[in-house]
Amino acid sequence: MLPEYKFLADANVGKLARLLRMLGFDTVYDNAFSMRQLTGIAIEENRILLSRNPAADKLFPGIQNFIISDEEPYIQLRQVIQYFNLKDRLRPFTRCILCNGILLTVSKENIINRLQQNTALYFDDFWQCNDCNRIYWKGSHYERMLQLVKQIRKKG
């Protein structure tokens, strides 16, 4: 069985954290985490720290980390996917991009009172985060996100 990669993103790579979550990777992120909190989480949960700080090895001794060399989130994503060979491990749209919770299928009837009128009218398939209860559907943003998934699967 392949090892499961679990990531921890520091304040410098918040957009990368959202992109990794969108692709289904367990990625803990909060821009308010202190160095002590990052260290504790990385050790306790056996997570790989993602950072743009070139001194991460010195700041976080004994923690597996990966230094991101680019400022652009999509390039950062490619760096992580290629370095950890994750191209065949994508599980897009299975995690909440805001809180990292797991997305579960939910019936329209159970959430109809939380939907805007046009969303309720034009969409039938919905997912809800098991942690923060945010609702997702295949709206206009979905096609853009799907194109990114296809690019990653093609190029890595």
Domains and CATH numbers, the chain: 6-89 (3.40.50), 103-155 (no CATH)
C-alpha radius of gyration, the chain, whole number: 17
Higher-pLDDT residue of 62, 14: 14
Backbone phi, then psi, for 135, in 5-degree steps? -105, 140
Instruction: In whole angstroms, give the CA distance from residue 146 to residue 88.
Output: 15
pLDDT above 90 covers a percentage of the chain that reads 87
pLDDT for 2: 58
Kindly report the pTM of this predicted structure. 0.93
pLDDT digits (tens, 9 = 90+) for 9-61: 999 999 999 999 999 999 999 999 999 999 999 999 999 999 999 888 888 88
pLDDT at 4 over 90: no
Question: Mean pLDDT in the chain?
Answer: 94
